[in-house]
Chain A
């Protein structure tokens, strides 16, 4: 468990893929109970994290402006002012 990254830091794709793999492993491998419980605990966290990302995440929006010399600046994009 210690080698697994914190669920909260995962992107949707990482969490979703890990969850798919994990369920697959639970279903195919004849795992000891301890391992099953560990996977179940992590799987529950992963599923909740995915659902939170879908339901609660706020779209992160920024603006990239390139100057003629090839430099680029990134700034927040204010939709309200438009």
Chain B
């Protein structure tokens, strides 16, 4: 009664694991199933404490189990609810333990945008293949911008945010606004024209293309192919600041740098005032310490020269050298006024050394200046005087008169 077919008699039965692995292989090696968009209605959505999300997608005739891992869940703006019509992107895989196939969802969008979203993905792939997003073509931004071009709405919060950041961080910059609409049918052409005008008519060294946050439809201009190509062709580096957090617009992908908001875009292109002030202070301090060191070395040299000067002694030479040292001292004084108590101290030391180099100090050590009366010429040789000549002798605290008593070898004078 129970007859076994000879043909169906297995030489060896599969284990459940083996047959499941075989099915898994069939499903997961299939190129179509590896990358699919599926549209349907969400049901039985649950989110256990693991953070992964489980649900089904269904239509009138069928149902498919879906899993969204926690990492993918974190990337989406809003979790769908039961009853939502959605478009889910992912791959079909087999979960052996339960014997089910399911859709492993990577991203999920409201279904109304389904067609647009798919087009967008195609455009993205096409532009990527053309090299518009290539890392190699991304240009560095200037470290200190001089002139920033801003493409955004003149009435939006984006412009206010950008200007606020520029004033706070780096106010010594020029900014040129090329006003455009940032949504609606006119927006893409206006943005293209603004980028072109800034490239052709200004000396801007960086451009910001910005807009506040919005839905996918509101951000359509920033996913427009014309805008993407205009950014690509811009001679000046472009930074995007289009307010949205979960997804990149095509403009972001083409831009040299991408920021998540207009504020962040303005921050990326400007150095920070506080950091620059600290850097300036550091340069000043380095400069000051070199200056102080050099003055110290100069003071030492001056002391050395003073000794040589005292030995050589002629007054005219003292004066001329003193003039030169005065000149140095004057310039150093200028410098010292500009900063640093340290330098002021060095200057004080210098002044006291100059004082000791004056003829007054020489007189104080017991030297005297002898001059003839009434001609006033200074006597520096025995040849200049004859016995009987009247002379004036200047010492440190005043002068007195005398008369020469002997001839050329005369060495004394007597008071009148």
Contacts and interface: CB of A to CB of B under 8 A. Distances in A.
Interface residues of B, number: 50
Contacts, number: 131
Contacts of A53: 171-172
Contact of A50 (B142, B167, B276, B328): B276
28 contacts: A13-B144, A19-B280, A20-B283, A23-B283, A27-B290, A33-B328, A36-B290, A40-B290, A40-B291, A41-B334, A41-B338, A44-B284, A47-B287, A50-B280, A51-B280, A53-B171, A55-B273, A58-B171, A59-B163, A59-B173, A60-B173, A61-B163, A63-B154, A63-B179, A64-B149, A64-B176, A72-B197, A72-B201
B283 A57 contact: no
Interface of B: 142-144, 146, 149, 154-155, 163, 166-167, 170-179, 193-194, 196-198, 200-202, 273, 276-277, 279-280, 283-284, 286-287, 290-291, 294-295, 297-298, 328, 331-332, 334-335, 338-339
B198 A64 contact: yes
A51 to B, nearest CB: 6
Interface in A1-60: 11-13, 16, 19-20, 22-23, 26-27, 31, 33, 36-37, 39-41, 43-44, 47, 50-51, 53-55, 57-60
Nearest to B291: A40
Interface of A: 11-13, 16, 19-20, 22-23, 26-27, 31, 33, 36-37, 39-41, 43-44, 47, 50-51, 53-55, 57-66, 70, 72, 74, 77, 79, 82
Nearest to B178: A64
A52 to B, nearest CB: 9
Contacts of B172: 11-12, 53-54, 57
Given A33-B328, A60-B175, A65-B179, A41 B335 contact: yes
Nearest to A37: B331
Contacts of B155: 82
Contact of A60 (B149, B174, B202): B174
A79 B160 CA distance: 9
A65 B295 CA distance: 57
Nearest to B169: A54
A53 B198 CA distance: 25
Nearest to A66: B197
Given A37-B335, A44-B339, A72-B197, A19 B283 contact: yes
Given A13-B143, A13-B144, A23-B287, A51 B277 contact: yes
B276 A36 contact: no
Contacts of B198: 64
Contacts of A12: 144, 170, 172
